[in-house]
Amino acid sequence: MEISNDSGTKKPKRLTSVVWNHFERIRKADICYAVCVHCNKKLSGSSNSGTTHLRNHLMRCLKRSNFDVSQLLAAKRRKKDNTISLANIGFDEGQRKEEYIKPTIIKFEPEHKKDEIINFGSSKFDQERSQLDLARMTILHGYPLSLVEQVGFKVFVKNLQPLFEFMPNSDVEISCIDIYRREKEKVFDMINRLHGRINLSIEMWSSTENSLYLCLSAHYIDEEWTLQKKILNFVTLDSSHTEDLLPEVIIKCLNEWDIDHKLFAVTLDDCSIDDDITLRIKERVSEKRPFLSTRQLLDVRSAAHLVNSIAQDAMDALHEVIQKIRESIRYIRSSQVVQGKFNEIAQRARINTQKFLFLDFPVQWKSTYLMLETALEYRSAFSLFQEHDPSYSASLTDEEWEWASSVTGYLKLLVEITNVFSGNKFPTANIYFPEICDVHMQLIDWCRSSDDFLSPMALKMKAKFDRYWSKCSLALAVAAVLDPRFKMKLVEYYYSLIYGSTALERIKEVSDGIKELFNAYSICSTMIDQGSALPGSSLPSTCGSRDRLKGFDRFLHETSQSQSIISDLDKYLEEPIFPRNSDFNILNWWKVHMPRYPILSMMARDVLGTPMSTLAPELAFSTGGRVLDSSRSSLNPDTREALICTQDWLQNESGNLNPSPIHSALPLLIE
């Protein structure tokens, strides 16, 4: 059937697509144009051209609204999902296929906002809010500030929301600082409302440019008996910050957060740090804590650093043997022919291991241990291989193999203990005592060796351990006593093995130490009952006029003990121990038993929250230190501190925690 070309009798075609709400159709001569009502751009308006190009233009037009985007996307999806054959669609149905029904509400259902309803029909783009969201995203995920200047990011955002106006990274930096200040106020209020005390960890960081940093973190158990950690300061140390000035830097940070009167313990990386640092901090803090002596302000060193350092001593002593094993493995893996010859010899030697020889990653000492362990299983094959391949020149003597076997045995224990420290989801202070005691007993045994190679190595390791033990043994033991599965029995068990005939004296030191600490808390509890303590503090402070009757309070407590009922501590120690089981949660136990032991539970909250290790899980086996990545080290000090601290706070707030809640995702440079 022929269609007449008489334009005079032909009716104009109805414009059915939603895109024509945004275009004006203009005919000039025989050509039709579609002019965008937002930007006046001319596009083809011919019916033969369709509407796809018009819709694509609208998706990129800088002057459209969010509501219009939802219209276009909905219409496009409906058109795409319409799979009915055109042959079965009548004229009217064909016209209706692009018609658009305005969505009034859309239900948004993320996990934490299941019932929230968002009305896209009334939503408007908010540039200021979007800039704030961009800054929070940059902080939360540790993105570089230069992200906003990257081409790929700009293209992505423009396609997503063309109305967004990009800002220079200096403006993003300002927004990040604003977020830091607001979040800092929240953290400040929260910390100062705590009823328990604060434990402080002090970590040293460096950068590839040899800059030094000091990271101060607060560790505590909150009102729900959950172990928490928050980074308080990330201080850049310049040349003026000599070691004798470090205490002043730390005390300044404590004063900034107003927590010097709430401090319970200070944890440093290792025993090589000058004792004068902690002594001066103790003296300053004790001025506001008259009821706790400087002895009772715990001075703790990181257990994971100790184990790491001992492991490195062992590998340093075995350095030449380790190098020979590396060269042997490299040679065997140098070609398929050599590898095949070695495999044949291993089969003849009846080596049935499923492990394959591999080279270690020297900056991770656990990989060196695994390499040694595997090589020892192929020991007989290496010995036979030397006879069949004259080119193999890195063979080990029998004595060197024995050294490797002994050191690998040492390292196995240290790997197991480090796995306990780094793999525990809630590393409360009570888990460290039995592990450190095991190291102590093994070192005593190793020092008895008559081997000229092993004995000096063991003595060096033991000397390093003894420095740690002299500082931390009491804190470790007190934490173990507050574990209801062990109480004093665990101390008695290990001390009898470690000290032998002098064990009773050492056990009495622990008993006296925990009683002295409990008495201090008992006095403080009396002061709180009398209204003499600061709000939110479990221990009293002297921020007002001098109290002339402080001595009387102590006298009253000491003389009343014999007349009063049995104390929390005595009651706790006399009751049977709690059965050991794999799913025991010590914090939940104390939360439940807080009414039964009101004073002892206050002490347990502070002791169990003490960080006995400051090494993050990702650095547990590292032979290097903490190195800041270049994107952070290149920032100015104030911005660097703001980004690092706020990232830690936001991650805790959003529930985006690391495997261990007490460690935070600082921007590490891992070699």
518 within some domain: yes
Q: Give the contacts of 623 (CB within 8 A, at least 6 positions apart).
A: 308, 312, 362, 363, 364, 365
Q: Give the contacts of 260 (CB within 8 A, at least 6 positions apart).
A: 251, 254, 284, 285, 288
Q: What distance in Å separates the CA atoms of residue 507 and residue 505, rounded to the nearest whole number?
A: 5
Q: What is the DSSP letter of 668?
A: B
pLDDT of residue 523: 81
Q: What distance in Å separates the CA atoms of residue 507 and residue 658, rounded to the nearest whole number?
A: 38
pLDDT of residue 195: 86
pLDDT of residue 532: 46
460 within some domain: yes
Same domain, yes or no, for 413 and 513? no
Residue 434 token pair: 């039995």
Residue 39 token pair: 């930007």
Measured from the Cβ of residue 444, the count of other Cβ atoms closer than 10 Å reads 14
Q: Are 299 and 282 in contact (CB under 8 A)?
A: yes
Angle, helices 379-388/365-377, rounded to nearest 10 degrees: 70
Q: What is the DSSP letter of 82?
A: -
pLDDT of residue 107: 40
Total domains in the chain come to: 4
Supply the pTM of this predicted model.
0.74
Same domain, yes or no, for 484 and 609? yes
29, 46, 52, 53, 76 from 41: Cα distances, Å: 19, 15, 16, 12, 22
Query: Hunting for tokens 């990386």 — which residue is that?
Result: 269
Same domain, yes or no, for 214 and 295? yes
Q: Give the contacts of 406 (CB within 8 A, at least 6 positions apart).
A: 449, 451, 454
Residue (of 414, 403, 412, 423) closest to 465 by Cα position: 414
Same domain, yes or no, for 609 and 639? no
Query: Residue 40 region, left (φ>0) first, then alpha (ψ -120 to 50), else beta?
Result: left
Same domain, yes or no, for 590 and 480? yes
Q: Give the contacts of 652 (CB within 8 A, at least 6 positions apart).
A: 228, 230, 664
Same domain, yes or no, for 646 and 659? yes
In which residue ranges of the chain is pLDDT below 70? 1-16, 62-123, 240-243, 271-274, 285-297, 525-548, 550, 553-554, 556-565, 654-671
pLDDT of residue 42: 85
296 within some domain: yes
Q: Are 331 and 395 in contact (CB under 8 A)?
A: no
Q: What distance in Å separates the CA atoms of residue 549 and residue 312, rounded to the nearest whole number?
A: 54
269 within some domain: yes
Same domain, yes or no, for 604 and 634? no
pLDDT of residue 583: 86
Return the ∠ at Cα 478 (arms to 472 and 480), rounded to 5°: 100
User: Residue 51 sits in which domain range?
Assistant: 18-64
Residue 311 three-state SS? helix
574 within some domain: no
Cα Rg of the chain (Å, integer) = 35
Q: What distance in Å separates the CA atoms of residue 609 and residue 592, rounded to the nearest whole number?
A: 17
Q: What distance in Å separates the CA atoms of residue 382 and residue 372, rounded to the nearest whole number?
A: 13
15, 18, 361, 660 from 54: Cα distances, Å: 13, 10, 58, 53
569 within some domain: no
Q: Give the contacts of 540 (CB within 8 A, at least 6 positions apart).
A: 290, 291, 524, 527, 528, 532, 533, 534
pLDDT of residue 543: 40
Counting every residue, how long is the chain?
Answer: 671
Query: Hunting for tokens 């955002």 — which residue is that?
Result: 157
pLDDT of residue 240: 66
Q: What distance in Å separates the CA atoms of residue 431 and residue 420, rounded to the nearest whole number?
A: 8
Same domain, yes or no, for 213 and 274? yes
Q: What distance in Å separates the CA atoms of residue 205 and residue 667, rounded to the nearest whole number?
A: 11
Same domain, yes or no, for 197 and 274? yes
Same domain, yes or no, for 334 and 288? no
88 within some domain: no
Same domain, yes or no, for 407 and 368? yes
Residues facing 221 on adjacent strands = 227
413 within some domain: yes
Going 262 to 264 to 270 to 271, the CA torsion angle's sign is: positive
Same domain, yes or no, for 458 and 607? yes
